[in-house]
């Protein structure tokens, strides 16, 4: 039976950001991508804190009930992924079978390092909301190492625009600042931590600093020239790395 890769997206994104990754993985791995509360197909749902978002993810995993599975979190989704992985490590029967974790430009269990001027600009985009075309364009452009393929670029802009302003604001004001350090880690799981070489606050140095103590078995990889939107910027390279993790964790 092929393994399942449960994917949690970034701020301002959706489950669609993993479409290219799923295509690159083909029949090797089943991808279960989840829209988090306030984003994508769940944009009408009220925002949730990190614990509430983790509860939603666990419920979806329980519905699928995979025998052997991996957890991938991108940016915002990585913080939630670490909380879910900690629940698995604590013996939650619903999460039996977790074999490894992938973090892409991941937000850590500790408060996310973020430039405060940038946080303020991003908060202003959603006040009063919804996010404008100009704000969505600025967000995508600031988070890539180079232009995205046109189809991926268009989807990224649409995802930002359809984000719930309340969920966008809740993450920036509180979710990203939540501190789960005392409740998460060290986690004795195979892990892959990927950073974009051109990422700012969550680049290679930050990934090693914030995730090294949490995932002592982690492999750290930098994708030179990439920014923050790794599933859309480098899906083929991410897929190859995921295959390696899945194979090594067999």
pLDDT in tens, 142-175: 999 999 999 999 999 999 999 999 999 999 999 9
Domain ranges of the chain: 4-248
Would the pLDDT of 250 be above 90?
Answer: no
pLDDT reported for residue 188 = 95
Percentage of the residues of the chain whose pLDDT score is greater than 90:
96
Is 0.95 surpassed by the pTM of this model? Answer: yes
Mean pLDDT of the chain: 97
Residue-wise burial string across 187-198, b where 16 or more C-beta atoms lie within 10 A, e elsewhere: bebbbbbbbbeb
Would the pLDDT of 43 be above 80?
Answer: yes
Would the pLDDT of 33 be above 70?
Answer: yes
What homologous superfamily does CATH list for 4-248?
Answer: Alpha/Beta hydrolase fold, catalytic domain (3.40.50.1820)
Confidence of residue 185 (pLDDT cuts 50, 70, 90): confident
CB neighbour class for 247 (10 Å; exposed up to 12, middle 13-18, buried from 19): exposed
Model confidence pLDDT, tens digit, residues 122-149: 999 999 889 999 999 999 999 999 999 9
Rounded to a whole number of angstroms, the CA Rg of the chain reads: 16
What tokens were used for 96? 């039996």
């Amino acid at each position: 039976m092929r393994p399942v890769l449960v994917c949690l997206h970034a701020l301002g994104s959706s489950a669609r950001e993993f479409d290219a990754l799923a295509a690159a993985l083909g029949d090797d791995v089943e991808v279960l991508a989840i829209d988090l509360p306030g984003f994508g197909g769940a944009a009408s749902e009220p925002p949730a804190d990190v614990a509430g978002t983790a509860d939603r993810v666990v419920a979806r995993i329980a519905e699928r009930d995979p025998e052997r599975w991996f957890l991938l979190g991108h940016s915002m989704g990585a913080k939630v992924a670490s909380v879910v992985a900690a629940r698995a490590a604590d013996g939650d029967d619903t999460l039996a079978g977790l074999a490894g974790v992938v973090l892409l430009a991941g937000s850590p269990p500790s408060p996310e390092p973020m430039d405060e001027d940038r946080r303020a600009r991003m908060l202003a985009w959603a006040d009063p909301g919804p996010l404008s075309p100009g704000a969505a364009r600025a967000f995508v452009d600031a988070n890539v190492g180079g232009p995205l393929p046109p189809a991926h670029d268009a989807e990224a802009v649409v995802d930002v625009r359809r984000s719930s302003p309340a969920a966008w604001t809740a993450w920036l004001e509180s979710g990203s600042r939540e501190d789960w350090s005392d409740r998460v880690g060290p986690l004795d799981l195979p892990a892959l931590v990927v950073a974009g070489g051109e990422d700012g606050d969550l680049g290679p140095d930050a990934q090693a600093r914030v995730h090294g103590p949490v995932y002592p078995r982690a492999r750290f990889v930098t994708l030179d020239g990439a920014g923050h939107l790794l599933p859309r910027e480098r899906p083929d390279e991410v897929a190859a790395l995921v295959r390696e993790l899945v194979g090594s964790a067999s």
